[in-house]
Structure 1
Amino acid sequence: MKKHFSNQQALLTDRARYLWLVLGTTLSFLAVSGRWELSLAAWLSPLLLLRFTRTIRPLIGCFLAWLVQVSTMLIFLAESGLLHPGWIVVFPLFGTVLTLPYLLDRLLAPRLSQVSLVLASLLFPCCQAACEYLISFTPYGGLISLAYTQYGNLPLLQLISVTGIYGVSFIVAWFASVGNGIWERHFAWPRIRPLTLLYSGALVLVLLFGCLRLTFFAPSSQTVRIAGISAAASTSQNTPSPREMMQMVQSNPAHLRALLAALDNEMLNRTQAEARAGAKIVVWPEVGAQVLASDKASLLTQAAALARTEHIYLDMGLGVFQPPATIYDQAILIDPQGRILSTYNKVHPVPGLDPFGPSENQPPVVETPYGRLSTAICFDADFPPLMQEAGSQGVDIMLLPSNDWQASDPWHSQNATFRAIENGYSLVRQASNGLAITIDDEGYVLAATDYFTTDQQTMIAYVPVKGTWTLYSRVGDLFAWLCLAEVLALAGMGVWQRKQAWTAVDADLPLEGSAFQEGKNKATGPTF
């Protein structure tokens, strides 16, 4: 009878393990920073997956966790319309990197818990933040982060003004390891009290900091009217693609010039209309106008004359085609005197999608009566260190000409808004084929308009002319480096604990706790 009861209990335990896996996998698909996401899922999915990997053999658990991470990456690509060969190869590798927190936790956290339950709980979140940071060094930038799933949670997101996005990822992942520690100890208050109070206190302090920042450090009350404009969808559809331009410049250059002139003239006319309606700064989207290199000087002369006549700052998103096959993706800033203040070339092209290579620009910074202005282009905003270069120079308004596609609407624009909170500047992201959005330095949306819900997209925003100081703008990704250092330190401590445990076993010394139990009986998993 006793054996039958034990077998029944083991079966229920085994089923529960895989229930956590199924639920964790399902929630992970809803915690992807894509078109469909649920912010709560980002908190619960790691907890359930961590619970699964802690209750099964390391090799099996981590293999299945790897499958979940790779599948999640593929779901993200499918949702975002990015199922291109290069992305399909690279993003599963990112899934492999993001499996490391589960692997290290499974192998080392039980040993660390013999020293300190708090230290053991820090391994998983530090590794999560460090892995996200390491991925950001690839040509795909910081597209992958748990932090992005918390868009709209402004009290929590104020933390990134100190730590960058990795602080929010840390808090979310720490919830998983703390929750798992509480779960393993069967919610026994005397055993879980220190860890529970520590995490609860840390989360309360983070949210309190966010609320205080939102309440008592409001953006500047003085504003400037900024207009973001895009050409009508009907005009854009008649504009040839880069490949078509390469063919037409050889076969029918006159017709190509006529098509590009229609686009450029519309942008100039709409700029004049918004200037006369009161805009002091006008922003075009990425490649909002297009021109042959031989005609660029003529277009710039017209734009400069317009800026001078209407007394505006004009940030031109401009695609310049140099036959036979060279393309420049530029943002050109012109002042009210008609002078070209800066010419910025896109630093980070989208791998496999943009038909040009990277440049080595830094975001320009210019003094104006409306604060310090800077500009970058679209995918550049997925690289926090690049955007922090402008933040470190006290930029007040970041202009971000952009061009998306329907499957990236609205998540790509929403991700870009994190750069504003990090660096203490307002951000104006004028996007064709996506969501145009303007936010202030605390993350409040000042204006937004969707390219796919209007034929002639115009975004009007009254933007604070003064930004704010943030710690992140000065120290950059220091928090991520500290997480990486902490992972190395905890891993070293965990390896040492493992060695000590097995030394004791070999010497036939009495041991208690999970390290001994797991060493003696790997088949049943750790005992806590």
Structure 2
Amino acid sequence: MITLLAAVLSGIMFYLAQGYDHVWGLVWLAPVPLLWLAYGNTRTWQVIGASAIALLGGAGYIVQSPYLHLIPPLVLMSVLVVDTGLFCVAIWFARFVQHRASPLLTLLAFPACWTTFEFLIELQSPNGTYGSLAYSTMSAPVLIQSASLFGMYAVTFLICLFANTLAMALRLKRNTAAVGVGLTICAANLAFGIVRLAHAQPDVLRVAAIVDETAVADSWRAKTVPAALAVTETYAREIRAAARDGARFVVTPEGGMASILAGQGTIVAPLVAAARDTGVQIIAGFHSEMPAADFALAITPDGRIQRYDKRHPVPGLEDDFTPGHVSGWLGDGRAEEICKDMDFPDTIRSDAVKGVSLMGVPAGDMGIDGWQHGIMSVMRGVEGGFSIVRAAHDGLVFASDAQGRLVALKKDAPAGLTMIVADLPLGSGPTLYTRIGNAFPWLCGIFALALGAGLPAWRRLQKRRPVAER
């Protein structure tokens, strides 16, 4: 009964924290019942079974996903089996180390193991870092600032470390010193977050994000140049309105305007005129059917246009699009990316290292996943030291600073115009993470591998030594 209760309790917490309910605090507690079980006398197979039940239960939000119909059942089953299996291995590994090593090594075993597995899973995933534990705590910017040092996987590690510290505190008295170390590390993370959030960013730019759902719908029906031109004229009027409110950087949604090759110059002309007349830099989302493409145009006040093609099309939904291969770097501390590109830390880091302080992100969500998907972009800003303006149709329209705080936020209306205009502090540019990349999760992997291989070898060596030498 205790085993089942632990599984259900953990599963509920994973579900509420990682799903669409956004109860962020529970992610720091979700592994505790399973680790508490692992450090006791419960049989190993029961601990593994409870872990599998918990993770599968926590993943129940997937049935609510608007992307579910795009995932072949065999692929979905394979992903769940791999994720569940590796999570069970991580829990077993914690038990393995606890039975063979000091409490201090036990403290680090589970965080290092799961951080490594999460990194390796997402390194190969066509959906990037979707599903990471780290995203579950984005509502608490003070706890995620370590991402600027070691990337999002530092946040995953800290979540697991905190849970492991609590489990060890509840289970064994001899864990006192290790528990103290765990709490000290977590307190240091909190202190670092407080200090970083208190650091003022002196450079501020007035920005705007615009989504017009009526215009978006019209753009997908536009098959002629006049019809496509009507959409860009609508956005040009709205950009001018944002400029009258002081905006100097404006972003429109992904695919929000139609491109027809034969009339591209005519279609874009109202946006170029708006940029020239108002001094606004525009990041405008476009789509085209012939050829199939999802791209953004960066338009500067002097009329220059730079095209960026989405580098990571959504599997199953955008298979007709040819992925782009060109950087979104625009110069002068600015960059543009599109929606799902922000799910891939390495893609964004390759631009951030050039000195990005502000990034425009045309995007598109599917209603229920607006928060869950949008906050992944915010994490990239913390990692890379840049602020973000994101305009998503059927999702969230927001501006966030380089510390992950939402300066302005609106849910886009089902029809008509949704606009935010805000004074946005610009980021300070490259962080330690942009310079060292994924060194931290690789170190976690090396540590876990050395621990797993070294402990049995050490025990064999100890058994062979004569008693007098011990």
Shared fold by TM > 0.5?
A: yes
- RMSD, aligned CA: 2.5
Report the equivalent of 1:152: 139
Kept in 2: contact 1:346–1:358 (CA 8 A): yes
Please tell me whether Structure 1 or Structure 2 has the larger radius of gyration of its CA atoms.
Answer: 1
Pair 1:219 & 2:183 matched: no
Cα distance, 1:164 vs structure 2: 1.1
Alpha-carbon spacing, 1:274–1:65, altered in 2? closer, same or farther (3 Å): same
Cα distance, 1:359 vs structure 2: 2.3
Deviation above 6 Å: which 4+ runs of structure 1? none
What is the CA–CA distance in structure 2 between the aligned matches of 1:383 and 1:195, rounded to whole Å?
Answer: 34
1:150-185 deviation digits (Å, cap 9, x = unpaired): 112122111111111111111111123233333332
Amino acid at match of 2:299: I
Kept in 2: contact 1:130–1:483 (CA 8 A): yes
Kept in 2: contact 1:158–1:210 (CA 8 A): yes
Cα distance, 1:93 vs structure 2: 3.7
Q: Percent identity?
A: 26
Q: Write out aligned runs for 1:13-162 (5 A).
A: 15-32=1-18, 34-54=19-39, 55-73=41-59, 75-86=60-71, 88-95=73-80, 96-106=82-92, 109-111=95-97, 113-137=99-123, 138-162=125-149
Pair 1:418 & 2:379 matched: yes
Pair 1:279 & 2:258 matched: no
What is the CA–CA distance in structure 2 between the aligned matches of 1:168 and 1:360, rounded to whole Å?
Answer: 29
Q: Write out aligned runs for 1:161-310 (5 A).
A: 161-185=148-172, 188=173, 191-215=174-198, 217-220=199-202, 222-231=203-212, 233-240=213-220, 256-310=224-278
What is the CA–CA distance in structure 1 between the aligned matches of 2:270 and 2:227, rounded to whole Å?
Answer: 17
What is the CA–CA distance in structure 1 between the aligned matches of 2:226 and 2:178, rounded to whole Å?
Answer: 68
More moved, 393-402 vs 97-106: 97-106
Structure 1 segments unaligned to the other structure (5+ residues): 1-14, 246-252, 510-528
Cα distance, 1:303 vs structure 2: 2.5
Amino acid at match of 1:22: V
From 315, 337, 358, the counterpart of 1:351: 315
1:178-225 deviation digits (Å, cap 9, x = unpaired): 33333332xx2xx1221111011111111111111122x2112x3222
Alpha-carbon spacing, 1:121–1:90, altered in 2? closer, same or farther (3 Å): farther
What is the CA–CA distance in structure 2 between the aligned matches of 1:120 and 1:109, rounded to whole Å?
Answer: 8
What is the CA–CA distance in structure 2 between the aligned matches of 1:430 and 1:111, rounded to whole Å?
Answer: 47
TM-score w.r.t. the length of structure 2 is 0.91
Cα distance, 1:398 vs structure 2: 0.8
Report the equivalent of 1:396: 357
Q: What is the aligned length?
A: 462
What is the CA–CA distance in structure 2 between the aligned matches of 1:422 and 1:310, rounded to whole Å?
Answer: 32
Structure 2 segments unaligned to the other structure (5+ residues): none
What is the CA–CA distance in structure 1 between the aligned matches of 2:79 and 2:455, rounded to whole Å?
Answer: 25
What is the CA–CA distance in structure 2 between the aligned matches of 1:106 and 1:436, rounded to whole Å?
Answer: 42
Where 1:240 maps in the other structure, the secondary structure is helix
From 361, 364, 370, the counterpart of 2:326: 361
1:113-133 deviation digits (Å, cap 9, x = unpaired): 533211122121111111221
Report the equivalent of 2:341: 380
Alpha-carbon spacing, 1:448–1:295, altered in 2? closer, same or farther (3 Å): same
Cα distance, 1:89 vs structure 2: 4.1
What is the CA–CA distance in structure 1 between the aligned matches of 2:379 and 2:274, rounded to whole Å?
Answer: 33
From 309, 314, 317, the counterpart of 2:282: 314
What is the CA–CA distance in structure 2 between the aligned matches of 1:446 and 1:180, rounded to whole Å?
Answer: 36
